[in-house]
Chains A and B, each alone.
Chain A
Amino acid sequence: MTRVRRWLPGLLLVSPSIILIAVFVYGLLGWNLKLAMTDKHNEIAEIPGRFVGLENFTGIWSEERWGLSVRHSIVFTVVFVAGALVLGWLLAFLMEKGIRAESGFRAVYLFPMAISFIATGVVWRWLMNSATGEHAVGLNRLFHYMGLDFLQWQWFRDPDWGMAAMAIPAVWQMSGYIMALFLAGFRGVPEELREAARVDGCGEWGVYRHVVLPMLRPVTLSALIILGHISLKVFDLVVAVSGKQIITDVPATFMWTAVYDSHDPAKGATIASYIVLSVVIFVVPYLIWNARKGNRS
């Protein structure tokens, strides 16, 4: 009885959230997966659809649009994650060097994070207008004024590297946040360690290379996870910049079209499952790594 009294209040306290998460996160994930494994390819028929196993999951790879959207997603993810990490790290590095009015700069770099991707997208849609030459606006116009006409390009309308351009607003928006993460990481490195390294004859670069960077690894990993899952699910930014066009298609916009335009619930659910799966691939290694670290300490 006393044992029950010990764990029951705690369990009662957390049970609402456990139940809500069980129903509305895992329950719906499961329901989505179940739908993805049926042949319910129109929403008109009220019948629930027959179980077809993984047919939808394999079938979708024969669709050209799917291959394209996956490719786009990969290009976007690579440019966005790498861009935000490098830029965020660089900003944090400069801050850490003891810049004047640091808190002011910090706020300025963090501000973009307070903006929604939609607002960012609307502004960058104009900045990245694809018109060139005389009629250029936005960044192309800026290049024109600076005599850098050769830098003008189609931005997100470029058939091959358009998605790299699409990643620029996202980098702009998230690099401040990554800077904050890294800055906290830098500050977490005890000054004694750096001094010890210097005493041992380490140059300034060596201090970073051998002392600070290794200690930033956990921060880098967190940043990677945060950026990675944002990137794989990206929808709002793409829609705000270019709408539902094939040229900037990503899995999330494809899913939207499949559900609301093609009225094909099973296909939408299949794409949704793939998006979850891709995020899981990103996150699970991190969780395992975290758990291991927890065990070790």
Chain B
Amino acid sequence: MAAVAVSVAGLLTLSACGGGDKQDTAGGPAAHKKVEVFSWWTGPGEADGLKAMRDIFAKENSNFEFFDAAVAGGSGDQARALLSSKLQANQPPDTFQGHAGAELQGYIKSGKLESLNFLYDELKLKDVLPQQLIDQITVEGQVYSVPVNIHRSNVLWFNPSVLKGAGISGAPKTVEEFVADLEKVKKSGKIPLSIGSQWTLVHLLESVLLGSLGTDAYNALWTASSDWSNANVTKALDNFKTILSYAGTPQDDWQPAAKQVADGEAAFNIMGDWAYGYFHNPPEGGLGKESKKDFDWAASPGTDGTFMWLSDSFTLPKGAPNRDGAIAWLKVAASKEGQDAFNPLKGSIPARKDADQSLYKDYLSWSLEQWAGDKLAGSIQHGVVANDTWRTAITDAVGLFQQDKDVAKLQQALVAAAKNSGQ
């Protein structure tokens, strides 16, 4: 009996600690006014963008105070782990960042998120966001997030002088041309294709799949009637294997891989358009290279006319301590003003169609133009088309493939991944 009493006392103390903790983050008596915004924007550029939106929020909402609950770590690995434990404990932040699309499905299915249809209606967002985008983030008629920005995944970065040295006149248009160009670069003694850590291969795979299969067949892979076992997928995976055989030594992450291109050690790199900021920005946050001269870009081979997108978005968790504050934040995130303040700094384009074009220069103006006219396809690695379980299974399969280069096994694993995803 004594034991029970003591352990109960122990638990009580613990839960008291938990409560105290929460009050700390929410700031005691003023808790109802603070808006806890959870994101992983802490790096150069993205943190500046967040601050710009935060300033707008402060101006428009004198009754609320922005509380920055950002967790450092690229692509939000650590942040998402912390977030999922917070949500499990039903202690959500007021609003959190998530990749728009399938990545949020787990939370949606477990009922952690509120539908935002009311906000879309109130702000008439369906008129200002592209229809294809809305279609791709709608789950059973409901939309659960407000996309703030759009990044492009299928970009081929290259070094013009290395290409010239290898006798290549321009960026390859198709996968076959790409392979031929890789061969030419190899003969010239440079690294044909630079790669980073394991996830950059998944990133490469999505571009190769899209380029080999075409947009419609690629998008069909993520529907209920998907067929991963057909010969076209085999062919795409064969392409992947061929392209990978031209890859240099894997670098630690995407930055050193991109740097190989900027430094003229490697010819090509396929990476999302956040690489532009890294190439272009002055030396503290980037490499200070001149666009079109030191580095150049094109749609990744075979994907011209298709925009493989990913998007950061904000959500409204059920039971948010300060629901009104969260909605006020979502309104800023959805607004033209908010998106035009955030995106030029972050190095992405706004999800809205009515953005002020003059703010977006160089790469971003190209991207904006493509976004307006292209077909859309969703990224695998960045949480658009596959839920976490599926994406992890694909990542595992690619990691194992990197070691044994067995296409048949890779395809089997991808078929199984699609079947077991529960999506």
Contacts and interface: CB of A to CB of B under 8 A. Distances in A.
Interface in B1-43: 2-3, 6-7, 10
Contacts of B81: 260
Contact of B402 (A19, A125, A247): A247
Contacts of B250: 130, 157
B393 A263 contact: no
Contacts of A20: 10
Interface string A189-227: 000000000000000000000000000000000000000
Nearest to B4: A19
Given A43-B110, A46-B110, A263-B106, A246 B399 contact: yes
A159 B403 CA distance: 7
Interface string B108-124: 01100000000000000
A131 B88 contact: no
Contacts of A242: 197
Contacts of B388: 261-263
A23 B84 contact: no
A167 to B, nearest CB: 19
Interface in A245-282: 245-247, 249, 257, 260-264
Contact of A19 (B10, B251, B400): B10
Given A19-B6, A243-B197, A260-B80, A130 B389 contact: no
Interface in B381-395: 388-389, 391-393, 395
B197 A64 contact: no
Contact of A42 (B3, B80, B422): B422
B8 to A, nearest CB: 10
A127 interface: no
Contacts of B197: 242-243, 245
A64 B413 CA distance: 10
A65 interface: yes
A132 interface: yes
Contact of A44 (B7, B109, B400): B109
B46 interface: no
B198 A246 contact: yes
Nearest to B198: A245
Given A130-B249, A246-B396, A246-B400, A262 B7 contact: no
A175 interface: no
Contacts of A154: 249
B198 A16 contact: no
Nearest to B84: A260
Nearest to A131: B249
Nearest to B252: A125
B6 A262 contact: no
A82 interface: no
B265 interface: yes
Contact of A65 (B2, B249, B265, B396): B396
A68 B400 CA distance: 9
A65 B265 CA distance: 33
Contacts of A244: 77, 198
Nearest to A258: B392
Given A20-B10, A44-B106, A245 B399 contact: yes
A15 interface: yes
A238 B10 CA distance: 35
A231 interface: no
A62 B342 CA distance: 47
A44 to B, nearest CB: 4
A293 interface: no
Interface in B401-418: 402-403
Nearest to A132: B249
Contacts of A68: 400
Contacts of B10: 16, 19-20, 23
Contacts of A15: 2-3, 6
B7 A65 contact: no
Interface string A127-162: 001111001000000000000000000100101000
Interface string B363-391: 00000000000000000000000001101
Nearest to A160: B403
Nearest to A262: B392
Nearest to B398: A246
A246 B402 contact: yes
A135 B7 contact: no
Contact of B392 (A45, A132, A261): A261
Contacts of A132: 249
Contacts of A262: 388-389, 392-393
B75 to A, nearest CB: 11
B285 to A, nearest CB: 20
A136 to B, nearest CB: 10
A247 B398 CA distance: 11
Contacts of B402: 246-247
Contacts of B77: 244
B389 A42 contact: yes
A125 B197 CA distance: 13
Interface in B143-194: none
A65 B77 CA distance: 20
Given A46-B110, A260-B81, A260-B84, A19 B7 contact: yes
12 contacts: A16-B10, A43-B84, A43-B110, A44-B110, A130-B249, A246-B198, A246-B396, A246-B400, A246-B403, A247-B403, A260-B81, A261-B392
Sort A-B residue pairs by CB-CB distance and give the 4 closest, nearest first: A246-B399, A261-B392, A245-B198, A44-B110
Given A132-B249, A245-B198, 17 more contacts: A15-B6, A16-B10, A19-B3, A19-B10, A43-B106, A130-B250, A131-B249, A242-B197, A244-B198, A245-B399, A246-B198, A246-B399, A247-B399, A249-B399, A257-B396, A260-B80, A261-B392
